[in-house]
Amino acid sequence: GQQVMQIPQYQHVQEGEDFTTYCNSSTTLSNIQWYKQRPGGHPVFLIQLVKSGEVKKQKRLTFQFGEAKKNSSLHITATQTTDVGTYFCAGRGGGGADGLTFGKGTHLIIQP
């Protein structure tokens, strides 16, 4: 079945440094979504990418969907303490299955 892998599993950064997490799927995706989960909270939707090569920005966050629609990345510029949490990518396969497959997430830890 479809597998979604994320690296790194953990990332420690100093406040103000940049952060990137990478997501790779074993199969071609129809779309990919990104979620953020704060400690003790539930996943909260950030963005959805649909088109091959698509790039979207939300303030300091930049999301990219690969040309082959099998990988994606999230880049945060100049991290702030409010960015702490776990970032998940979640993909939908192109075969009609509707259940999103989540990666294991990247835990972002920020040192002030």
Partner 1 sequence: DTGVSQNPRHKITKRGQNVTFRCDPISEHNRLYWYRQTLGQGPEFLTYFQNEAQLEKSRLLSDRFSAERPKGSFSTLEIQRTEQGDSAMYLCASSATGTGRGPLHFGNGTRLTVT
Q: How many CB atoms lie within 10 A of CB 91?
A: 28
We find the least distance from the C-beta atom of residue 14 to partner 1, in angstroms, to be: 23
Q: Which x/- pattern, by CB under 8 A, does the window 43-72 give for partner 1?
A: xxx--x------------------------
Q: Is 88 in the site for partner 1 (CB under 8 A)?
A: yes
β-sheet bridge partners, residue 20: 75
DSSP state of 36: E
We find the least distance from the C-beta atom of residue 104 to partner 1, in angstroms, to be: 5
**Alpha-helical regions (H) of 19-78:** none
How many Cα atoms are found within 13 Å in the side-chain-facing hemisphere of 51? 4
Q: Contact residues for partner 1 (CB under 8 A)?
A: 1, 4, 6, 30-31, 33, 35, 41-45, 48, 88, 90, 92, 97-105, 107
